[in-house]
A and B are shown apart, each in its own frame.
Chain A
Amino acid sequence: MTRRLMEGSEAIAEAALAAGCRFFAGYPMTPFTELLEHFARRLPETGGVCINAESELEAIGMAWGALASGARAATGSTGQGLALMQESLSEITRAELPLVVFHMARGQADYYQATRGGGHGDYRHLVYAPVDVAEAVALTQLAFDRADRWRNPVAIYGDYLLAHVAESVAVERLDFGPLPAKDWAADGTLGGSGRSRNVNSLGMRNGVKGIEPESFWKRLQAKHDEMARLEARSDAEATDGAELLVVAFGTLARFARFAVRELRRSGARVGLFRPITLWPFPADALRAAAASARRVAVLEMNAGQMIDDVRLALLGAAPVVPIGGISSDAAGFGIGPLLDAERVRGRIEDALAGREVAG
């Protein structure tokens, strides 16, 4: 397979097509817009459909219908647009539909939104945070597989840089093994058979009047517990004997990785832990990676969100300090001055020396 220079948006769209995505709907918004553009150009060429929806509410509604009829489908936006979609995002989880959501965020301040959500009720989404375009290609395909396997939404958490930086990548179709048949999908064929389907989020079952919320919600909880047990992914390097462990995700983790490798070469006892899944948070792996750490430094570009999950994972086993903070460009697109190797290196050096880091 040939490698080609592609910006993240194009590579992600190509990865979705390779995974068999046949439907996309979205509403333009920076930095998600180019992803929509690539789907709009490429889906019709491959027999699929991309609709320029009249709002984010309709975009996710359209994806819902495509999914319920059995197709692989996706939508996306940035944090603001996803805020509009929250009712559907939580309800689609209860309808057990395999939605893939591309969250091209304006920076990292949507960590809570992606991992806690703003929708109603108990629900969970698998959330992948790729560090670069090549990983985004792999995780996008994994997202479609896991969505189908769990019948649960899966989100890709990207940002402005992931969407717009061009890297040399090859998009190859990945095979994750056979999936169960979508015999639950409402394709119209079972009318009049007595076995027609009702794809719903209320726990309604055929032949049973009314709903059974408690048993239905408990069944979903058990599924989400199982997802939490099996789906956590992370990456760690130089953690053996590390006195300081830096925790970072997504684009910022790429800067942290560069700085940690440099510092390591100069003899500093510093390691890096990178959650690939933001939910489930890789707590067990983090505890193992932090075994020798005297300090854990959380580098994230927000007021402090992932740090909650780091503290919950470590439960006081090591002091946890924030070394990131709010950092933005003039437009608020999340390309802040903190996205700078020297600055990141300086913050890590401060943490190594036990100095307070001004956020």
Chain B
Amino acid sequence: MKAHKVGLEKPALQLGVDHDLCPGCGEPLALRMLLEAIEEVGCAQRAICVVGIGCYTALTPLMDVDRIQALHGRAPSVATGAKRMRPDALLFTLQGDGDMVSEGLQEVIHAAARGESITCVLLNNGVFGETGGHMTATTVLGQRTKNSLEGRDAAYHGHPILIGDLLAQLDGTAYAARASVHDAAGVARARRMLRRAFESQLRGDGFSFVEILTMCPTGWFIGTQQGPEYLDRVLGSVHVTGELKRDGRYVSTAALRSRAARAASRSAGRGA
């Protein structure tokens, strides 16, 4: 299989630039932002990453960070045990939407409710990428997957979970945010959010959460080049990006969506 490049200049915590994920995958970009954010907060020698099971698991050999491989869905409890024994470490999980929101929903919610001093990082592409594009708990209505062939139907398949909102409303959560790596600005924003989450953990504020929407053209059954546009339009219109909790204030995804709609109509008005 041909190897693909993560980027031309790699972060210091990244071992090599080759990965074996699909062309157009957004996860290597997210990984890169994660590694840069660890360096930015000066925690290269005291970071522990607890990894879930998904495509991103294949990226862990690229990470020059102490790692613990967890079972599918179980990273938040594993991170809890490690953090309680290593309170000075920067503890974060790396999980997908199938891992965190489908299989392990209870884990992440309880970790947040406990105010556990860890950062849970969700790579959300709305599908089980590793199994070949199946519906998860975050798959949006209308999204076609291998087990929602005509598109996710609320009456038949149920509604997607906006995990950030669930977590942000818990008292134990200090910081919650959602980014998307569909464009350069989104990639930079993902890194800023990761840095803020880590800073919040290092201050001992409580639980922190960063969701990063990532492209999965293979699991979405679209062309590689269409990935970013599809992510922004299909997933991004439901899992709207922005900060859901900061400085004790919760802003719902619905509020972020209204804010985005107002901004869009203002810029459309200016264009007219």
Say whether A and B bind each other: yes
Query: In the complex where A198-B69, A204-B61 touch, is A68 in contact with B45 (Cβ < 8 A)?
Result: no
* Contact of B50 with A by CB under 8 A: yes
What is the minimal beta-carbon distance from A183 to any residue of chain B, in angstroms?
12
* Contact of B162 with A by CB under 8 A: no
Residues of A within 8 A of B70 (CB): 61, 64
Task: Tell me whether A189 and B81 are in contact (CB under 8 A).
Answer: no
Residues of B within 8 A of A23 (CB): 81, 84-85
What is the minimal beta-carbon distance from A48 to any residue of chain B, in angstroms?
9
Task: Tell me whether A66 and B84 are in contact (CB under 8 A).
Answer: yes
Task: Tell me whether A91 and B47 are in contact (CB under 8 A).
Answer: no
Closest B residue, CB atoms, query A91: B71
Query: In the complex where A186-B67, A200-B69, A207-B61 touch, is A65 in contact with B45 (Cβ < 8 A)?
Result: no
In the bound complex, how far is the Cα of B88 from the Cα of A25, in angstroms? 20
* Contact of A199 with B by CB under 8 A: yes
Query: In the complex where A69-B86, A191-B65, A199-B67 touch, is A61 in contact with B48 (Cβ < 8 A)?
Result: no
Task: Tell me whether A51 and B84 are in contact (CB under 8 A).
Answer: yes
Residues of A within 8 A of B84 (CB): 23, 49, 51, 62, 65-66
* Contact of B102 with A by CB under 8 A: no
Task: Tell me whether B89 and A187 are in contact (CB under 8 A).
Answer: yes
* Contact of A355 with B by CB under 8 A: no
Interface residues of A in 171-214 (CB under 8 A from B): 186-194, 196-202, 204, 206-210
Task: Tell me whether A189 and B69 are in contact (CB under 8 A).
Answer: no
* Contact of A17 with B by CB under 8 A: no
What is the minimal beta-carbon distance from B85 to any residue of chain A, in angstroms?
4
Task: Tell me whether A68 and B44 are in contact (CB under 8 A).
Answer: no
Count contacts between A and B, CB distance < 8 Å.
158
- Interface size in chain B (residues, C-beta < 8 A): 42
Binds B, one of A52-60, A106-114, A153-161, A311-319: A52-60
What is the minimal beta-carbon distance from B91 to any residue of chain A, in angstroms?
8
Instruction: Produce 1/0 per residue, B16-46, CB < 8 A to A.
Output: 0000100000000000000000100001111
Query: In the complex where A66-B84, A209-B61 touch, is A191 in contact with B71 (Cβ < 8 A)?
Result: no
B64's contact among A59, A196, A210, by CB below 8 Å, is which?
A: A196
Task: Tell me whether A196 and B65 are in contact (CB under 8 A).
Answer: yes
Among A63, A71, A199: residue with most chain B CB under 10 A: A199
* Contact of B82 with A by CB under 8 A: yes
Task: Tell me whether A87 and B71 are in contact (CB under 8 A).
Answer: yes
- Interface size in chain A (residues, C-beta < 8 A): 50
Task: Tell me whether A187 and B74 are in contact (CB under 8 A).
Answer: no
* Contact of A310 with B by CB under 8 A: no
Residues of A within 8 A of B83 (CB): 65
* Contact of A348 with B by CB under 8 A: no
Task: Tell me whether B38 and A191 are in contact (CB under 8 A).
Answer: yes
In the bound complex, how far is the Cα of B78 from the Cα of A139, in angstroms? 27
* Contact of B63 with A by CB under 8 A: yes
* Contact of B15 with A by CB under 8 A: yes
Residues of A within 8 A of B50 (CB): 65
Closest A residue, CB atoms, query B39: A192
Residues of A within 8 A of B63 (CB): 196
In the bound complex, how far is the Cα of B15 from the Cα of A59, in angstroms? 33
Closest A residue, CB atoms, query B69: A200
A188's contact among B20, B77, B86, by CB below 8 Å, is which?
A: B86
Residues of A within 8 A of B82 (CB): 65-66, 68-69, 186
Task: Tell me whether A194 and B68 are in contact (CB under 8 A).
Answer: no
A64's contact among B43, B46, B58, B78, by CB below 8 Å, is which?
A: B78
Instruction: Produce 1/0 per residue, A58-86, CB < 8 A to B.
Output: 11111111111111010000000000000
* Contact of B229 with A by CB under 8 A: no
* Contact of A30 with B by CB under 8 A: no
* Contact of A143 with B by CB under 8 A: no
Task: Tell me whether B44 and A192 are in contact (CB under 8 A).
Answer: yes
A49's contact among B65, B79, B85, by CB below 8 Å, is which?
A: B85
Among B83, B84, B90, B107: residue with most chain A CB under 10 A: B84
* Contact of B13 with A by CB under 8 A: yes
What is the minimal beta-carbon distance from B79 to any residue of chain A, in angstroms?
6
* Contact of B237 with A by CB under 8 A: no
Task: Tell me whether A61 and B61 are in contact (CB under 8 A).
Answer: no
In the bound complex, how far is the Cα of B90 from the Cα of A190, in angstroms? 13
Closest B residue, CB atoms, query A22: B85
Task: Tell me whether B46 and A66 are in contact (CB under 8 A).
Answer: no
In the bound complex, how far is the Cα of B86 from the Cα of A210, in angstroms? 29
Task: Tell me whether A188 and B85 are in contact (CB under 8 A).
Answer: no
Among B38, B45, B77, B110: residue with most chain A CB under 10 A: B77
In the bound complex, how far is the Cα of B65 from the Cα of A56, in angstroms? 29
In the bound complex, how far is the Cα of B66 from the Cα of A84, in angstroms? 28
In the bound complex, how far is the Cα of B53 from the Cα of A201, in angstroms? 11
In the bound complex, how far is the Cα of B71 from the Cα of A95, in angstroms? 11
Task: Tell me whether B66 and A186 are in contact (CB under 8 A).
Answer: yes
Among B47, B48, B61, B110: residue with most chain A CB under 10 A: B48
What is the minimal beta-carbon distance from A243 to any residue of chain B, in angstroms?
51
* Contact of A88 with B by CB under 8 A: yes
In the bound complex, how far is the Cα of B82 from the Cα of A62, in angstroms? 7
Task: Tell me whether A25 and B65 are in contact (CB under 8 A).
Answer: no
The contact sample of 18 A-B pairs, CB cut-off 8 A, is: A51-B80, A58-B74, A58-B107, A64-B70, A64-B77, A65-B81, A68-B78, A70-B85, A71-B85, A95-B69, A187-B89, A192-B13, A192-B44, A196-B63, A196-B65, A198-B61, A198-B66, A198-B68
Extra A-B contacts (18), CB below 8 Å, given A189-B46, A192-B13, A196-B64: A23-B84, A54-B106, A57-B74, A58-B80, A58-B106, A58-B107, A64-B81, A65-B77, A68-B81, A69-B68, A70-B85, A186-B48, A186-B66, A190-B66, A191-B64, A192-B44, A199-B69, A202-B69
The 9 closest A-B pairs by CB, nearest first: A65-B81, A61-B77, A200-B69, A65-B82, A66-B81, A62-B81, A65-B78, A186-B66, A188-B89
